[in-house]
Amino acid sequence: MNCDKVLYFFEKINQIPRGSGNEKAVSDYLVNFAKERDLWVHQDNANNVIIKKQGSKGYEDHFPVVIQGHMDMVCEKNTDVVHDFEKDPIKVIYDGDFIHADGTTLGADDGIAVAMAMALLDDENAVHPPLEAVFTTDEEVGMLGAANLDATLIEGRRLINIDSEEEGIFTVGCAGGVKTESKIPVELMEPLYENFSRIAVTNLEGGHSGIDIGRERANANKLLARVLDRITETENVQICSLNGGAKDNAIPRYSEAVVCCEDGDSLKATISLIREEIRAEYELTDSNIEITCENVERSDKVFTKNTADKIITALLLIPNGIQSMNLELNMPESSNNIGVVKMNENSVSLICALRSSVITKKLYMKSQIERLTKMCGGTLESHGDYPAWEYKTQSPLRDLFVDYYKEYYKGEPKVETVHAGLECGLIAEKIPDMDMISLGPDLFDIHTPKERASISSIERVWGFLKGILERM
C-alpha cells in the first residue's frame, strides 16, 4: 500500500512551525485544507480542528468513525544546531527506510497521525464510513486541547487514535498525569571568589518520559544536582545560575550551572573524578555522558549559601524515575521526571511530569513534591492534570482490530496499556461510551533529536488503517 500521500502531507505540515503553544498556523492550514475540499470543519478557541467527511458509496449510513491525533510536537535540538522552532520548518531527510530531521526532533509524534487523517480526507477513492478527523493542540504540555474539546460535536462512538509508536501493538489504556512546577525563591549576594566556570552535563540519551522511563536512563538535572552537592561540600564554591532540560515530558539530556570558586584547578580535578564515577554507573544506558568544566566570564551575583542548599536539596530529593510497578502487567505504574530546571527573575523552577495509572498514587507523588518544595521555602503550582484511560474488558472495536490484524499481518498483535499519556483518557471522560484503540507505525527516539520513523512501517500501518475502515 503506497504511502506517498501520507508522506506528502507530513512534509507539508512540517513546513509550519507547530511546537506546543504555537499551533495557530497549522490549525488554520487544516481549516483551509477542509474548505478547499468542501468538507465540514470546526475550529475552536483552543485551535482544535474537527473535519467531517461523508461515507464513501455504500457506506453513507454506517456509524461514523473518529480518527484522532494531535498537531503539536516536542521541540528539541542538538546544542550545536541553529534552529528556531518558532519560525523554521522541520527538514525531512530520507535515509534508506527512515525519515529523520536535521539535528532536531522530527515531529512524527504526532505529525504522522495528522498526515494519515489528511490523506484519508483527501482520497476520493478511499472506502470508509463517515469520518470525523479530530486534531487537537497542546497535547505535549498537558493535553490542553483535548481538555477544551467540545465533545458534543462528535457523533462517532468508535475512535482510532494514531499516537502509538510501535507497529504491531494496540494500546487500549494509558496512565494519567499532571505537571508540577516547584518555585524556590532566590537570594543573591556578591561573589567571594574570582574564578568562574560553567559545569555542563551533556550527551545523555534522553527520551520520552513515559515510554522510556523504564530504561533507567540518566537524568541530566539529577546528575547536575549530584555534582553541585559534591563540590559545595568539598570545594569553596558558590552557584551563580543553573538551567537544564527543555521539556517536562522529555528525559533531560543536558543541564548546566555557572559557579565561582576559590581554586579553579581543584574544581576541575573534582569534576573529572565525578565524571568517571557517573560514567561507570551509567555504562549500559548512557555510555557517552560528558561532564565538563570550562572558564567563563565573571558574574555579578551568586546564590546565598541558604538558597544554594535549598535548591540542591530539592533537586536531590524530588522523586525521579519509576516509583511503582504494575506487577500484573510488569510495566511502570507510577513515575516522575524532573524535566526542566530554569532561572526566573526571583526564583528557580523545577518542572516535573508525574504519571500514574492509579489516581491515588499520582496524588501521593504530588504531595511528596509539594511538601518538599515547602520545606525548601518554595511554592508549588500544577497544571495539565489528565485522567488515565482505563482498560475495558469488553471492546468490539478491539476485537475487530485483532481479527483483522491476524488477516493482514498473518500473526498475533500485542494488546497493551502504556505508561505514557494519551488523549483517550480525556475523551473517555467526555464521552464515556466511546470505544477506543490506539496504533501507529514504528517511531524511534521520540522527543529527542534522534527521532526517526520507518517508511515501510508507515506504509504497512497506512494499509492496515485503510483496510480496517473498509470493515467498519
Catalytic residues: 72, 139
Burial environment of residue 383 by CB neighbours within 10 A (0 to 12, 13 to 18, 19 or more) = exposed
Q: Which long-range contacts (CB under 8 A, 24 or more apart) does 340-346 make?
A: 340/221, 340/244, 340/245, 340/246, 340/247, 340/248, 340/252, 341/221, 341/224, 341/242, 341/243, 341/244, 341/245, 341/255, 341/315, 342/243, 342/244, 343/241, 343/242, 343/243, 344/183, 346/185, 346/186
Strands (E), 328-389: 331-343, 347-356, 379-386
Is residue 323 within 8 A of residue 334, CB to CB? The reply is yes
Helices (H) and strands (E) in the chain, counts: 11, 25
Report the C-alpha gap between 192 and 259 in whole angstroms.
Answer: 11
Contact in structure between 397 and 439 (CB atoms under 8 Å): no
Q: What angle do CA 107, 152, 13 make, to 5 degrees?
A: 20
Instruction: Count the alpha carbons within 13 Å of 452 in the hemisphere toward its beta carbon.
Output: 14
One-letter amino acid of 145: G
* Phi-psi domain of 165 (left: phi exceeds 0; alpha: psi -120 through 50; beta: other): alpha
Angle at which helix 4-13 crosses helix 108-122, to 10 degrees, equals 120
Name which of 174, 187, 183, 136 is nearest 30 in CA terms: 136
Q: Which among 314, 311, 313, 308 is positioned nearest to 369, based on CA atoms?
A: 314
Rounded to whole angstroms, how far apart are CA atoms 228 and 234? 10
Q: Are 229 and 211 in contact (CB under 8 A)?
A: no
Exposed, middle or buried: residue 260 (CB in 10 Å: 0-12, 13-18, 19+)?
buried
Find where cell 475495558 sits. 392
Length of the chain: 472
d(Cα 355, Cα 175) in Å, to the nearest integer? 6
